[in-house]
Structure 1
Amino acid sequence: MTEPRGDDRVLPLTRWVAIAIVPFLAVAAFLLFAFPERTGELFAWPIAPPLSAFLLASAYVGGIWFFIRVALARRWHRVKHGFPAVVVFAGALLVATLLHLDRFSQNLSFAVWMVLYVTTPFLVAVVAIIQRPHDPRTPDPVDVVIPARWRVALVAIGAAALTVGAVLFVVPALGVELWAWELTPLTARVTGAVLSLTGVVNAGLVWDSRWSAFRILFQAQLLSLLAIAVSLVGGRDALLWDRPMTPVFVVLIAGALVLYAVFTLRCEALTRRAAASVPSRV
């Protein structure tokens, strides 16, 4: 007997995929944060300066939170908008890998990297397609409609991040010349892939105004932004202040962190107010 459509159910396959991905992200984030100078030995390829390693690790930090929440989710619509972002991110990293195979180390980490990125974008896409009919497109019993002004602002931020990410990916030479720290063509494309996450997630706000559909994703983005901000402080010696992009990037990260925090706290306050207005059942 088939499951009814629109039941908001998270399928067992979705949970198992999330559970399988988390350990890879956790190990990668640990190696990149703890041993940035030994990435050629311990990671899939040598990354310099450490800021590039930290940026990729920051994306993994948000991914860890997201996939843990997917594994524990009770409703599909609460995590659905993260899956297209993962497909684009992982797909971009696969393409970047194939374009720069000569840069990678011939070690176990590279073998794991290849297996992960050859399979993840396709597996996550299949899961998203299978799960798609399960979203009832209705709000949670206690939910908030994201105000239009916030949606416009966040979509604009996402579009800017996606545009910059696409330029870095397609024309990495611009990143090598202009970015806030030294990049190679490979790390320029990886940076572009990281920036795509915000763009694809925020694009969902164009057609979905349920806070419940973005709450987990903005928690993940906040964790990533916090990790990037801490990384910029820790890796500040690598910042090239003679490049105009450097102060712009630092200000944008700080501003995005504050804006996302204010937005999340505002939506949480509205949710609590909505919950308080719901009559309790005796």
Structure 2
Amino acid sequence: MMNTGSSVSLPLRLWFGAEVFFGLAAILSITIAPQDTASNFAWTIKPTVTAAILGAFYASVAPIFVLAMVARRWEMVRVIIWPAIVFTSVELAATWIHWDKFRVDSGSFMLWYASYLLPPPIFLALFLYQVRRQVTLPALEPMGKTLRLTLCALGCLFTLEGLYSFVRPEHFTANHAFEVTVLTARATAGWIVALGLMMVSMAWEGARERARIGSPFLILPLPLLFLQMSRFADEVDWSHPRLIAAFALFAATSLLGLWLAKGNWRSSLS
């Protein structure tokens, strides 16, 4: 009999649904109306373009959790888990470090706090449960060595940049194309880490059908960041070298995502 891998457990599927809820709440607030963070978000973000940038990342990652909800096999969603654990841990650390900046008596904050306090232990527990049940599944669409090395190299670059910016936020705040606070710099750094670890996780899996579900998170940041920043173009120095370099890196990431998205989606979701 053909080895079809192990199924996604019901608790993990339900938690993916919870992540979709958290993501939708963020999109309805900070993505759609970044100018209203004083009333619709966990803290007031200024300038508005930096809120819009965070909103772009929330919109970029949302599709992968929707896809994960409908995927049937654990091997096809495994690529998401460790990036999610590390990302939510980084955002939780930023919350604790800058506790005084948050509107802790607001419903928006409680939703924010729950969305980062709960995922690390829940994802870790569900990961360990799934690992005990998993079986060896050969790659249907093995990645070539060049693709794996490219994903690993670019992923490590993003991850290290994000971690350094979290530890030393002045690296991000002192010389950028727009003004940014230390808290927003650390929150953004978490997203850079998440994107980097997603690419490393894809390279580790070594199979395109297992990486495909994460490809929207590679494809979407470039167009969504440009769209969100364009809404508040007067707050951005479009000729700044760091912005140009960042867009070049996101362009490379988007191309990798488009390449990974090609192929048989049925094999990744069924």
TM-score using structure 1 length:
0.85
What's the secondary structure of 1:81's corresponding residue? helix
**Contact 1:172-1:185 within 8 A present in 2 as well:** yes
Indicate if the aligned counterparts of 1:168 and 1:188 stay in contact, CA closer than 8 A: yes
- Following superposition, the deviation at residue 48 of structure 1 comes to 1.8
State how far apart, in whole Å, the 2-side matches of 1:23 and 1:204 are.
24
Q: Which residue of 1 aligns with 2:20?
A: 22
Which one of 25, 31, 40 corresponds to residue 33 of structure 1? 31
Residue 115 of structure 1 deviates from its aligned partner by 2.1
Instruction: State the match for 1:102 in structure 2.
Output: 100
Indicate the residue corresponding to 1:168 in structure 2.
165
Matched, 1:157 2:154: yes
Distance 2:204 2:25 in 1: 35
- Superposition misfits of 4+ residues, deviation over 4 angstroms: none
Of the candidates 1, 7, 12, which is equivalent to residue 9 of structure 1?
7
Contact 1:181 1:246 in 2 (8 A): no
Equivalent position amino acid for 2:231 in 1:
G
Alignment partners' CA distance in 2, 1:218 and 1:112: 27
Pairing 1:218–2:235 present? no
What is the TM-score with the length of structure 2 in the denominator? 0.89
Q: Given the superposition, is the C-alpha separation of residues 239 and 255 from structure 1 closer, same or farther in structure 2, using an over 3 Å criterion?
A: farther
- Could you report, residue by residue, the CA deviation over 1:12-65 in whole angstroms, capped at 9, with x for unpaired residues? 100111112211211211211221111021110011223322332233223321
TM-aligned CA distance change 1:259 to 1:116, over 3 Å: closer
Structure 2 residue 163 is the aligned partner of structure 1 residue 193: no
1:256 aligns with 2:253: yes
Name the counterpart of 2:110.
Answer: 111
SS at match of 1:8: coil
Q: Give the share of equivalent positions with the same residue, in percent.
A: 25
Q: Secondary structure at the match of 1:214?
A: helix
Q: In the TM superposition, what are the counterparts of 1:220-259 in structure 2 within 5 Å?
A: 220-241=217-238, 243-259=240-256
- Give the deviation of 1:214 after TM superposition: 0.4
Structure 1 contact 229–253 (Cα < 8 Å) conserved: no
Map 1:173-188 to 2 at 5 A: 173-188=170-185
Whether 2:120 is the aligned partner of 1:121: answer: yes
Specify whether residues 128 and 183 from structure 1 end up closer, same or farther in structure 2 by C-alpha distance, changes over 3 A only: same
- Larger Rg computed on CA atoms: 1
Identify the residue that residue 61 of structure 1 maps to in structure 2: 59
CA distance in 2, matches of 1:139, 1:224: 31
- How far, CA to CA, are the matches of 2:54 and 2:134 in structure 1? 31
In 1, Cα distance between the equivalents of 2:47 and 2:15?
A: 32
Q: CA separation in 2, counterparts of 1:15 and 1:208?
A: 20
Q: Is this contact kept in 2: 1:160–1:199, CA < 8 A? A: yes
**Structure 1 residues 199-208 or 209-218, which shifts more?**
199-208
Distance 1:82 1:214, change over 3 A: same
Distance 1:134 1:182, change over 3 A: farther
- On the 8 A contact 2:43/2:102 being kept in 1, the answer is yes
User: Residues 211 and 135 of structure 1: is their aligned pair in 2 closer, same or farther, counting only changes over 3 Å?
Assistant: farther
Count of matched residue positions in the alignment of Structure 1 and Structure 2: 263
Q: Distance in 2 between matches of 1:226 and 1:122?
A: 33
Question: Counterpart in 1 of 2:79?
Answer: 81
Distance in 2 between residues matched to 1:226 and 1:136, nearest whole Å: 38
RMSD of aligned Cα (Å): 2.3
Q: Does 2:42 correspond to 1:44?
A: yes
Report the equivalent of 1:280: none
Measure, in 2, the Cα distance between the counterparts of 1:200 and 1:137: 23
